[in-house]
Amino acid sequence: MNDHYENPLCKRYASQEMQYIFSDENKFITWRQLWLALAISQKELGLDITTGQIEEMKANINKIDYDTAARFESETRHDVMAHVRTFGEACPEAKPIIHLGATSSYVGDNTDILQQRAALIHIKKLLVNTIEKLYIFANDNKCLPCLAYTHFQAAQPTTMGKRASLWIQDLLLDLQQLEFTLANLKLLGCKGTTGTSASFLALFDGDHDKVKALEKKITEKMGLNDVYPVSGQTYPRKMDFYVLSVLSGIAQSAYKFSNDIRLLSHLKEVDEPFLETQVGSSAMAYKKNPIRSERIASLARYVTVNALNPALTASGQWLERTLDDSANRRITIPEAFLGVDAILSLMINITAGLKVYPKVMEKHLHEELPFIVTENILMHCVKKGGDRQALHERIRLHSMEAVKRIKEQGEQNDLISRILSDDNFVISENEINSMLQADGLTGRAAEQTGEFLAEVESVLKTNKDLLGMNVDIKV
């Protein structure tokens, strides 16, 4: 047991893949890759940098002496300079040209974008796999009638598959936003201390074309296609807001899903996966609490609220830059990704093992069907010459009495027998019984679901290379 605080997102919830993306190891290796890309590009454009210096840097990309870096940082109070010096000690021949013309944001900001890009790609994979699991669930249950709810009060029936299609639709909207944001990520490039590229212009003796070519070469070497055309010292902090807004949107969709599962679990219509050895309560041994859905809700609240941080950071930047973004961004951006990584892993796990109880659904339907079919009864009797307003009032009075009997005496719903004994209604018992078939009251739910799932299938086919992902739920 550790004697210091550990982030629960890492210890309990998020995957190793996402943790590595935002790890120090990945960050500092990427810094060195950026320094290498800068040096190679400068050499290609005519600066006096030797092949030996380049090869020395390549050989030491992954060989980071963290003790030396920590010592330098304690002396300089500057993480980038600490790693410049550490890299320089490992590369004595290349030391004079490492970080040539660059500012800290060259490695810091470009690395941030590269990390966010890798993390968004990982989230997209999780999102597509979540959609696939829900697609299977919705297809399997597209014709299964169940009671629908508005305000969590009984409403007209739907099907379980149609309900699941609502979850999928939210995630498809999130996928669209993710893909748009991912496609529009750009590097900061190499623009110097205030975004004017003055240092690089000096290195290339005033040759503007070479300065522009340098930025293009670096961008291509780092795997992206574009840079922001103008900047201060940093890339626009609004981009962090857009990225975390995508994550917030996914969290919102997951939160809605988890709330629905929790409500349906209370109704005993579904169960999320529950291990044979799992304990629901330390006191109440019979309980099967939906803890995975509750965990989604808990993490989703954090991610949703966290999206406010980059909004405040972006709006609070001073002129060409200020450093009050640094500590905040070190925490909020990685944790938003770690949170959504955990959330989507839980959604995949829950949906893959979600158990449905059709008999309980049928029971709930039959308890409410007498109320639900009153509109059909009303229309039927009006067609036979009844007064719509008068019959509506009679139904209202009978319904209130039936509800009173159910709530105050715990009796069965007797609304149908009340209507049949009321001479104002010209309708037979057989006619009402035919109306009480749940399959005939779900409208186009099954058809809508089938039509919608055909669209979902197209999305899955487009992203088929991302499917087949395994997730590991730790606790």
Q: Give the C-alpha separation, 404 to 400, whole Å.
A: 6
Least confident segment among 20-29, 370-379, 460-469: 370-379
Q: How many domains does the chain have?
A: 1
Say which of 4, 74, 151, 282 is annotated catalytic.
151
Asked if the structure places residue 112 within a domain, the reply is: no
Buried b (16+ CB within 10 A) or exposed e, 108-123: bbbbbbbbbbbbbebb
Domain for residue 242, yes or no?
no
380 is known as an active-site residue: no
- Establish if 414 belongs to a structural domain: yes
Identify the band that residue 292 occupies on the pLDDT scale cut at 50, 70 and 90.
very high
Domain around 397: 374-435
231 has catalytic annotation: no
Distance CA(118)–CA(27), nearest Å, equals 12
> What is the predicted pLDDT for the residue at 285?
56
Torsion angle of C-alpha atoms 188, 116, 132, 278, degrees rounded to 10: -170
H-type alpha helices, 184-307: 198-203, 208-221, 238-266, 291-306
Share of the chain above pLDDT 90, in %: 83
From 281, 315, 428, 458, the catalytic residue: 281
Mean pLDDT of 298-321: 94
Mean pLDDT of 287-294: 84
Structural domain includes residue 31: no
Output DSSP code: residue 474. -
The pLDDT value recorded for residue 472 is: 84
Say how far apart CA 184 and CA 213 lie, in whole Å: 21
Residue 30 lies in a domain: no
| pLDDT tens digits, 28-68 | 999 999 999 999 999 999 999 999 999 999 999 999 999 99
| Gap between the Cα atoms of 132 and 459, Å rounded | 9
pLDDT at 146: 96
CATH number of 401's domain:
1.10.40.30
Q: Output DSSP code: residue 14.
A: S
Model confidence at 86: pLDDT above 80: yes
pLDDT (tens digit, 9 = 90+) per residue, 207-240? 999 999 999 999 999 999 899 999 999 999 999 9
Helices (H), 184-237: 198-203, 208-221
398 in any annotated domain:
yes
Q: 219 in a domain, yes or no?
A: no
Statement: residue 265 has pLDDT above 80: yes
Residue 387 lies in a domain: yes
> What digits encode the pLDDT tens for the residues 139-168?
999 999 999 999 999 889 999 999 999 999
At residue 206, the pLDDT reads 96
What mean pLDDT do residues 176-195 have? 95
